[in-house]
Amino acid sequence: MAPKAQMGERLELLQGTLDLLILRTLRWGPMHGHGIAKFIERTSQDILKIEHGSLYPALQRLLQEGWIKAEWGTSTNKRRARFYRLTVAGRRQLTAEHSRWERFTEAVARILRPSAAEEQP
């Protein structure tokens, strides 16, 4: 499961983390699909690689959970685009997911990093 990537290579996303990333991205304000993809790539300094197509099923799922809302608007370069916005429930979900993620990564890190406890006989 763990990515066998080396530094400098782009990383495939862990399953389930895309939802979290989208929600987190939308905290900054309404954004369209392309914007979200670019934002994630940019913010991770191009380490996280997103297949743009995979964004849309995830957005649909989040819509149906009621965590985000969508409405049509105009993008900066005058193009009609669908903007996604975080809902109250989405904000709550983000908080919950965020803390879950932190506990998860912490736990994984503990196992990978040799700890004091492990070195004891």
Partner 1 sequence: MRWRRTLGKLAAIFRRGRVERELEEEVRAHLEMEEEENRAAGREREEARYAARRAFGNVTRAKEMSREMWLYRWAEDFFQDVRYALRTLGKSPGFAAVAVLTLALGTGANTAIFSAVYAVLLKALPFPEPDRLVMVWEDVRLPNYQNEQNEVTPGNFAEWRSQNTVFEDMGAYRNRSYNLTGSGEPVRVEGELVTSGLFSVLRENAAIGRVFTADEDQPGSGHVAVMSEGLWKSRFGGDAQILGKTILLDGVSYTVIGVMPPGFHFPDPDDQLWVPMALSEQELNNRGSHYLDIVARLKAGVTTARAQAEMNTIARHLTEMYPTTNAGQTVNVVPLHEEIAGPVRPTLLALLGAVGLVLVIVCANVANLLLGRASVRHREMGIRWALGAGRTRILRQLLTESVLLALLGCALGLLLARWGVAALKLLSPPHIPRLEEISLNGPVHAFSLGISVFAGLIFGLAPALEAVRGKVHDSLKEGARESAGGARMRTRNTLVVMETALGVMVVIGAGLLLRSFLLMERTSLGFQPKNVLTFRVIPRGERYAKPSGRSAFYQQAIQRIEALPGVKSAAAITFIPLTFVRGSKGFTIEGRVPPAPGQVLMAGYDVVSPGYFETMQIPVLEGRDFSWSDTPQTQPVIVINAAMARRDWPGEDPLGKRIRQGGPEEEFPWMTIVGVVGDIREFDVMTQPRPTMYFPITQWPDSYHVLRDWVVRTAGNPLGIAAAIRGAIWEVDKDLPISRVRSMEQVRSLSVAPQRFNLLLFALFAALALALAAVGIYGVMAYSVAQRTREIGIRVALGAQHGDILRLVVAQGARLAVLGVMIGLGGAFALTRLMAGLLYGVPPTDPLTFAGVAALLAGAALLACYIPARRATRVDPIVALRHE
Contact residues: partner 1, CB under 8 A: 32-34, 37-38, 51-54, 56-57, 59-61, 64, 66, 75, 77, 79-82, 87-89, 92
Place of tokens 């993008």: 75
Smaller CB separation from partner 1, 33 or 48: 33
In the complex, what is the shortest distance from the CB of residue 30 to partner 1, in angstroms, rounded to a whole number?
14
Smaller CB separation from partner 1, 22 or 37: 37
In the complex, what is the shortest distance from the CB of residue 86 to partner 1, in angstroms, rounded to a whole number?
12
Q: What tokens appear for 117 in the block?
A: 């406890």
Q: What tokens appear for 97 in the block?
A: 């997911």
CA–CA separation, 38 and 35 (whole Å) = 5
Burial of 61 (0-12, 13-18, 19+ CB in 10 A): middle
In the complex, what is the shortest distance from the CB of residue 8 to partner 1, in angstroms, rounded to a whole number?
20
